[in-house]
Amino acid sequence: MVEEKLTISPAFRIASIAILAAVTTVLTRIVQVPLPARGYINLGDVAIVFTAITLGPFSGALAGGLGTALADLLSGPYAFWAPISLVVHGLQGLLVGLIAGVKPNNVLLQCLGGLVGIAVMAGGYLAAGIFLEGTGPALTEVPGNLIQGAAGVLLGILVAAAVLRAYPPVRQWRW
Amino acid sequence: MIAELYRPGTSLLHRWDPRAKLLLLPMVLAAFFVPSDPWPLLALAAAVVALVIVELGPSQLVPPLKTLWPILALILVLTPPFHRTGPAVLGPAGLALVTADGLRFTAVLLLRFLGITLGFFAIVRTVSLDDMVLGLRWFRLPYSACLVVTITLRTIPTLAATWRNVTDAHRLRRDVSTGRPRLVQTYVPVLTSVLIESVKAIPLLAMALESRGFGRRNARTSYAGLKQGTSLLPDVLALAGAVLVLFWPLLLVR
């Protein structure tokens, strides 16, 4: 197969970041999953966790940060959250990838990485929210962020395992 | 086609150089954090609202306000209880529920949030994303970073269509009589299909980039460029004026 002979060239890195950033934007902006109680969550965190587990921490950081920042930029009223999302989700992708990469295919480490990622994401948005909206409104966003993060980790780990099984060349694309 | 926020127009804001508007973004953010008093913030926020009304039209205020009102309501309701210093304004039997400092801080947060959001909205609404990337390139953002953003923007509509197609295909396979879709059963098959489709595109895109010379050391040429008028002077003067408007509260502080 052509893909198995590929080396991780600069063009390959550019392509992987761009495609997975686009996936992150689409899952953040377009896909809305209804919650059992009320409201919606998006699946942007799924793309970040998937990218970090399969393609490594740097892909996770760059694609996750850029994808969510573009989603904010394209949303209109939330455009000014773009730099915050770039940093918060970038850090989330980096940490998930670093922790999960210690021992690839270890689900416990992937869960641990995902939990650290959720903590960083929810903490980052809380800090930014306190700064921009005040303590009260920022605290109300924490449960939603935690639910969204948990769904992202759960689905991200499941989907990463499914994709690695269905399309094994991806195993060699980690950088 | 790119799903972006930009709406074409002929207003002064539209015609303003994208580089000046990019410089203005961090300035808007900074300007709304300088005053700690509601009155200068009210003047700044009113100026931003007036800018949106005059340059984009009154109807353009509706979409951002429609999205923002729940957050503004939360700020209004939840901020006073967290700031209990100062003389009591409202509270039963000597218990201060709302204080003067709490009200002042609530007004500051409301005006700051509204002003920053509408300021960013006005700028992002009048710069196409292509021009934004070209402007960032002018500010020496590396070529590879600009290329990533450009490819991402071009890929988003294709991937959105792929998501919809795969979702429709999986919906045909699912028993819809079971009621509410479940998170894992519903989304894992769709996500897996979409992600396999996406990652398969990576080596193809990499080969396309290499065949177009990406990674070579020789200087690159570009057909795309910012649309520039005969002189940048009006744009620079307008930027200086905007900086003066944004940071006039600093003069009051001194």
Q: Is the pLDDT of residue B175 over 80?
A: no
In this prediction the pTM is 0.89
pLDDT tens for each residue of B177-232: 655 567 778 889 999 999 999 999 999 999 999 998 887 877 777 777 777 655 67
Domain containing A85: what range? Answer: 10-173
pLDDT tens for each residue of B5-22: 788 888 888 888 888 888
Determine what percent of chain A is predicted with pLDDT higher than 70. Answer: 93
Q: Is the dihedral of CA B144, B148, B151, B154 positive or negative?
A: negative
For A33, the enclosing helix (H) or strand (E) is: strand A32-34
Residue A65 lies inside a defined structural domain of this protein: yes
User: Would the CB atoms of B120 and A151 count as touching at under 8 Å?
Assistant: no
Residue A23 lies inside a defined structural domain of this protein: yes
Determine how many CB atoms are found less than 10 A away from the CB of residue B233.
9
Q: Is the pLDDT of residue B67 over 90?
A: no
User: Would the CB atoms of A134 and B64 count as touching at under 8 Å?
Assistant: no
Residues B196 and B163: their CA atoms lie apart, in Å, by: 12
Domain tally, chain A: 1
Give the distance from residue A90's alpha carbon to the nearest chain B alpha carbon, in angstroms. 15
pLDDT tens for each residue of B106-154: 999 999 999 999 999 998 889 888 888 899 888 889 989 999 999 999 9
Residue A39 has a pLDDT of 65
- Residues in a beta bridge with A19: none
Which residues have a Cβ under 8 Å from the Cβ of B171 and sit 6 or more positions away?
none
Residue B146 has a pLDDT of 92
Optimal mutation site among B199, B204, B211, interface A, most CBs of chain A within 10 A? B199
Residue A5 lies inside a defined structural domain of this protein: no
pLDDT confidence tier of residue A97, bands split at 50, 70 and 90: very high
Residue A1 lies inside a defined structural domain of this protein: no
For A42, the enclosing helix (H) or strand (E) is: strand A40-42
Residue A135 lies inside a defined structural domain of this protein: yes
pLDDT tens for each residue of B161-170: 999 999 999 8
In B, residues 179-198, which contact A (CB 8 Å cutoff)? Answer: 180-181, 183-184, 187-188, 191-192, 194-196, 198
For A20, the enclosing helix (H) or strand (E) is: helix A10-29
Residue A2 lies inside a defined structural domain of this protein: no
Residue A18 lies inside a defined structural domain of this protein: yes
Residue A3 lies inside a defined structural domain of this protein: no
User: Would the CB atoms of B201 and A79 count as touching at under 8 Å?
Assistant: no
- CATH number of the domain that A23 lies in? 1.10.1760.20
Residue B179 has a pLDDT of 59
Residues B163 and B172: their CA atoms lie apart, in Å, by: 14
